[in-house]
Amino acid sequence: MTARIQEDSDIFTGERGVEISISDTGPGISPDDVDYIFDPFFTRNPKGFGLGLSITHTIIEEHGGKIMAESDPGKGACFRIFLSISH
């Protein structure tokens, strides 16, 4: 996990924000699934409900933030969370 301050990036046009990156070295996310992982009830886990990332996405957006996922199948995934810093 890393965190850093962002100044006037594409995400925070004219503002300051914090970017939090969380990554792993697991199997990654299938390219076919990346567009759906934040949808409610989408899961490839037979024991899952598909709500975890959907709820996370909603909470972050309700706070004016953004979450994105990047993956290199077979090498892991990285979730990047962007939150504005209020003045």
The model's pLDDT over 49-63, given as tens digits with 9 standing for 90+, comes to: 999 999 999 999 999
Query: What's the structural domain count of the chain?
Result: 1
Residue 84 makes CB contacts below 8 A (sequence gap 6+) with: 12, 15, 16, 17, 64, 65
d(CA 80, CA 76) in angstroms, rounded, equals 13
Residue 9 has a pLDDT of 76
Domain that holds residue 49: 2-84
* CATH number of the domain to which 10 belongs: 3.30.565.10
Residue 11 has a pLDDT of 78
